[in-house]
Chain A
Amino acid sequence: MSPTDLAVLSMALFVIGAVCSAVLARDRIRCGYIAFVFVLAAAAAASTAGVRVFLNGPAADAPLLRIADLGASLTVHVDYLSALFLIVVALIATVTTLFSIRYLEAHPQESALRYYPMLLLFFGGVVGVVCTWDMLFFIVFWEFMTLASYFLVVYHRDDAVALRAGLKYFIVTHVATACLIAAVIILYVHGGRSFSFEAMRVGVTNLAVHAPGLLHVVLGLLFVGFATKAGIFPFGDWLPDAYPAAPAPVTAAFSGTMTKLGIYGLVRVFFQFLPVYDTCLVWGAILAAFGTLSIAIGTLTALAQDDSKRLLSFSVVGQMGYILLGVGLGVYFRPLVPALAALAVVGGLFHMVNDACYKSCLFLSAGAVEHRTGTRDLNLIGGLAGLMPLTAVAAIFASLAISGIPPFSGFASKWLLYHAAFMGGKTAPFTLVLGLIAMFVAIATLALFLKFVTITFFGKLRTPDPKRELREVPLSMVLPQGVLAVLCVVFGVAPMLAAKPVYAGIAGMLTGGEIPGFAAVFGSGSAGLALNTGVGIQGAWMPWPILIALAATAALAYVIYRAGDAEVLVSPVWYCGEEHTDEETAYLAHSLYRPFKDMLRVRIGPYETEGIYPRLPRLRAPGFGWLRRLFDFDQWAYYPFIRWGARLVGRFSETHSGIAQLYLLWMVIGTVAAVAVLLWLGGS
């Protein structure tokens, strides 16, 4: 079977699996296993397609469906970039579905019918998005994925917060899709009335020549559309609300696949559609600037979060910023220094692959902790490492990877980004500033994940419900975390393994303005990366010699450590001899980094932010107040009448004061008045 057939097979398996799991949804465990079998088969097909493309070159196929009047055709085309995403999606789909099987036990009130079919349709949509070669069907699959993901966000239907987050997600992503559609229609008109990617490219080229202003509008619409999905600040404002609302494996699937598709779209637009042109400078700078903004605001806001999934969600915003920074610098340097462009965009997409691994792993770990303790509040938990050792190890590996500690994977990809930003400083000093911010925030990321790890897994054992049985999660929940954690190490010690496919993905879709060959920029050795952007070797990352040095020095240190043959004594923690309760000696997540968080507070007049994340005051729809008032009969007809009547009656009631002398006075006055009237009548 050709790669395109395999991709279609994968999509079909996802859809069939969705139907089968819907039919058999009564027994949730059995339904989970059936869904997993289908996902496994579909993932095998998708990853085989991806691997075969990398081995034998890209494959195009005859269109499956043609709408001639519209100029649209459902063409499945797997090029290197699609292949890269297919492999990532296959991996994430498998591990998250496997994790779901036992995770859903914790929510017996929710039906599996609303889970597995939606999850499988979602993955089917994702595969469709990365394989199609036609913008109309791209948007169809995009919507398919978005709708399925909406139902997954609102899985907990009794949770008002989840429902509100789902509504926000629904509205925001559809505005974004509207932007995409508008941009695509403009390109359709200017590109020879076809929706194929080639026509999009022609459309962009035509606009660049004839209507540069309109081109900026189109690129802006596409950027907003894709950046919203990618969770880039400020467009991705839905993300920190919607991610925590969804079940943990779904959040892991979102962060591993759906947010990455925003980057996929941006790479297609800015590397495939956009020719090398001055426009690259403008949009490259814009992309990189938004990426850096996202890095800083996402990560620094995450520092202040005490909800584990909310903390991770803000950190998604930050990590997507790194990827966008890489893509943006790549676009920027394409007309100036192609070697730097290669460095930046490979760094960005390499980071995307890594992020899919460690961020999904972290969401799964947070889910595993939630599964056992029943809470996501970091203030209520602690010291779980002894009871959940495998989850702890996976979370620590993923945390070190996301913080960029060598030799884990995050180091290699961030290292490429820093090199691109710092070496680009000679050409464009602003990249230097962006690189510095990115590198500073990388340390904040470390602080963030040390908080997550130390609070959750170290310290005193704390749990909100002492009656719950705390132990390691079952194998089907450990295995997914383990696979992802191992990948965090593999891509760190063998960066070539990911950098080469990523490079192929970028280089394979450029037409005009090619970037230099892989060996010229990243070095030809197989041990690691030795960068050269035309000025000689400017820095190297060879994991193996460094690892050997680390191992040797660690062995030496251990020999010294044991040299005195000191005996090991076991003793409880010492609190300076004071009487204490567990409550008094617990160090809460909330207290960590208080002085630093205070430094980050922004106060403008009466308006104060949570960390540095801007929160808009709640807005009311203006202009329709009079309509509401017109139909509010109570307000303008009934209540005024009643109030007037009551006031009138009140006047009378005042005369009934309960004082006998007053009544007598009234009677005297009345008698006098009656006599006077009678006399007056009689007198006439």
Chain B
Amino acid sequence: MTTVIGASIQIGLVLLLGPLLEGLMRTLVRARIHSRQGPPILQPFYDIFKLLVKADVQPTTSWIYALPPVLCMATILTASLLVPVFGQAVLGDYGDAILFIYLMTASVVAIVLAGAMSASTYAFLGLAREIMMMLTVEPVLIIWLVTAALSAGSLNLSDMAAWNLEHGPSVSMIIAGLAVLLAIQAQVGKLPFDIAEADQEIMGGPFIELSGPKLAMFEWALWAKQFVFVAMLVQIFAPWPAVAAALAGSVALGYAVSVLLLLAKVLVVVVLVALIDAVNPRLRIEQAMLYFVSIIFLAAIGLAFAIVGI
């Protein structure tokens, strides 16, 4: 029962905080840098509500078109249950770091299938870019998690967080974390790496034919993905302070404090993401891939440090 309650709270938080963070970043960071007033902070919610009631345009009446947006949201929400917030994650006993990576990948597969179903050339162009970005960004994520796993001796996500909490920042984790920080922009589809969507160029890529509720679901899912991904990064990489140990007696209080701390840490990273997003032009796909090849080397250096144990 506690599992179901915990899961519900976590899913609710992800669904609410994803768009909220996006709205905050739009108004407080991007608009400020562009010297304009910016939209209301709750604008992403208004967008979602508006899109949910708008007409759902698709090539035929088949129900199959509803599958990708629903699956994309489902994989990201399930992945969010693997984030260790307070002690063990909700699904921590049933899945590990590899499952997390693959659930994130599955969300990309849903986007690709949505694009492929729409049969537009722009969609195919976008999905090919989406996959190429995944091919070069995912290794960074893998190396990062493996670095943590090697130090902790376990691929269980809460074990990794616990190891970091206990042993403090190590050289290997700092290098690997830095590499992921540099790759985060591409993971969450922000400039300079929003090559797959590239609104001004290929008009949304895989999303070109989507409208109404489908577009709402995908946008919402991508905002949620940004939140989940950054939360996972900070929980594994910077799990301090040790709330779980200090407040082990009171679960409710401990959970609340953990969530607040997590939010503060996420906010720092997301502001960074929004800053980079606001001041950078889009790269071409081959430039981006070369960039990530060098990031992979950086991450591999971190792994080498982990192998020698520092």
Q: Which residues of A contact B (CB under 8 A)?
A: 383, 386, 400, 403-406, 411, 415, 418-419, 422-423, 425-426, 429, 432, 435-436, 439-440, 443-444, 446-447, 450, 453-454, 458-460, 528, 530, 535-542, 545-546, 549-551, 553-554, 556-558, 560-576, 585-587, 591-596, 598-599
Contact = CB atoms under 8 A, between A and B. Distances in A.
B56 A569 contact: yes
B61 A570 contact: yes
A589 B221 CA distance: 29
B66 interface: yes
B71 A595 contact: no
Contacts of A425: 146, 150, 307
A564 B303 contact: no
A404 B102 contact: yes
A405 B109 contact: yes
A66 B99 CA distance: 53
B155 A450 contact: no
Nearest to A538: B154
B56 to A, nearest CB: 5
B121 A585 contact: yes
Given A418-B98, A564-B213, A573-B119, A591 B71 contact: no
Given A436-B146, A538-B155, A546-B95, A557 B70 contact: yes
A554 B69 CA distance: 9
A612 to B, nearest CB: 14
Contacts of A568: 55-58, 61
Contacts of A571: 57-59
7 contacts: A425-B150, A446-B105, A446-B134, A539-B155, A546-B94, A554-B73, A557-B71
B109 A549 contact: no
B54 interface: yes
A444 B70 CA distance: 25
A575 B119 CA distance: 11
B240 interface: no
A142 B303 CA distance: 44
B99 A541 contact: yes
B53 interface: yes
A8 B145 CA distance: 50
Contacts of B81: 549
B60 interface: yes
B159 interface: yes
B166 interface: no
B11 A539 contact: no
A536 B154 contact: yes
Most chain B CB within a 10 A radius of its CB, from A440, A537, A546, A564: A564
A372 to B, nearest CB: 19
A432 B303 contact: yes
Given A540-B94, A549-B77, A557-B77, 6 more contacts: A404-B102, A406-B106, A538-B159, A556-B73, A563-B213, A594-B128
Contact of B128 (A439, A570, A592): A592
B156 A450 contact: no
Contact of B91 (A450, A546, A570, A587): A546
B78 A546 contact: yes
A433 to B, nearest CB: 9
B85 interface: no
A315 to B, nearest CB: 16
B53 A422 contact: no
Contact of A426 (B51, B54, B153, B213): B153
A97 B109 CA distance: 33
Interface of B: 7, 11, 49, 51-61, 66, 69-71, 73-75, 77-78, 81, 91, 93-99, 102-103, 105-106, 109, 112-113, 116-121, 124-125, 127-128, 131-132, 134-136, 138-139, 142-143, 146, 149-150, 153-156, 159, 203, 208-209, 212-214, 216-217, 220, 285-286, 289-290, 303, 307
Contacts of B105: 405, 443, 446
Given A458-B119, A563-B52, A574-B120, A541 B95 contact: yes
A325 to B, nearest CB: 16
Contacts of A419: 98, 155
Nearest to B48: A560
Q: Which 7 A-B pairs have the closest CB atoms?
A: A564-B52, A587-B124, A458-B116, A564-B53, A539-B96, A542-B94, A554-B74
Given A422-B155, A426-B153, A570-B59, A542 B119 contact: no
Contacts of A415: 98-99
B60 to A, nearest CB: 6
A563 to B, nearest CB: 6
B293 to A, nearest CB: 8
Given A405-B109, A546-B99, A553-B11, A566 B286 contact: no
Contacts of B103: 406
B75 A443 contact: no
Contact of B124 (A426, A436, A454, A563): A454
Contact of A405 (B69, B106, B214, B285): B106
A435 B146 contact: yes
Nearest to A437: B139
A460 B134 contact: no
B55 A561 contact: no
A569 to B, nearest CB: 5
Given A422-B149, A595-B285, A553 B73 contact: yes
Contacts of A598: 286
Contacts of A592: 124, 128
B248 to A, nearest CB: 20
Contacts of A453: 116
A566 B121 contact: no
Contacts of A576: 203
